[in-house]
């Protein structure tokens, strides 16, 4: 019996393991996030975006998800959402463009799980599909997979 139970534990752990990704692609129109290793798609996730999903993020508070090539550069295991990995928005050109318009480009764009607060979770029951302030959201168990598969320094391409 003990051997059988320990086999189940190892089997379920192996099933959840995915290879390390070396590139992340977000296709906003498809509402999908893809983990790549070379040209191979390792895993695909359904995502929620900013409340104003169309177009590139141009200023703080516009509720848009940025478009372009960035880096996943640091992570927060204790954010107000279940785990979060930072997207390096704004880039130098994002800063320049915002400055020319007299705006702040905003920031704190993350890939994250669901809210950790029950109040915020309840709000999602009555909300639209795209509910973030510009971040890329997945389910918590998916965030666990992404957290393990993606290392700091991994490039992310966010396309319309």
What's the pLDDT tens digit per position in 66-87?
Answer: 999 999 999 999 999 999 999 9
DSSP assignments along 91-113, one per residue: -HHHHHHHHHHT-------EEE-
81 within 8 A of 117, measured Cβ to Cβ? no
Of the pLDDT bands very low, low, confident and very high (cuts 50, 70, 90), residue 121 is: low
pLDDT in tens, 88-114: 999 999 999 999 999 999 999 999 999
Tokens of 105: 């480009």
Of the pLDDT bands very low, low, confident and very high (cuts 50, 70, 90), residue 18 is: confident
- Alpha-carbon gap, residue 57 to 47, rounded angstroms: 17
| CATH architecture for residues 19-159 | Beta Barrel (2.40)
For residue 90, is the peptide bond before it cis, meaning its omega torsion is within 30 degrees of 0? yes
Classify 56 as helix, strand or coil. coil
Give the predicted TM-score (pTM) of the model: 0.85
Better-scored residue on pLDDT, 10 or 124: 124
């Amino acid at each position: 019996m003990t051997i059988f139970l320990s086999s189940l534990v190892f089997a379920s752990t192996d099933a959840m393991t995915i290879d390390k990704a070396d590139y992340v692609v977000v296709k906003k129109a498809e509402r999908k996030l893809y983990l790549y290793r070379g040209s191979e798609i390792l895993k695909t996730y359904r995502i929620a975006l900013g409340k104003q999903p169309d177009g590139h993020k141009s200023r703080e508070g516009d509720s848009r998800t940025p478009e372009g090539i960035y880096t996943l550069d640091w992570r927060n295991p204790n954010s107000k959402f279940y785990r979060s990995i930072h997207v390096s928005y704004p880039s130098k050109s994002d800063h320049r463009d915002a400055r020319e318009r007299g705006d702040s480009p905003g920031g704190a764009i993350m890939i994250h799980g669901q809210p950790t607060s029950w109040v915020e979770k309840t709000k999602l029951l009555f909300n639209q599909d795209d509910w973030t302030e510009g971040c890329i959201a997945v389910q918590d168990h998916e965030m666990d997979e992404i957290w393990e598969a993606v290392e700091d320094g991994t490039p992310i391409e966010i396309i319309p």
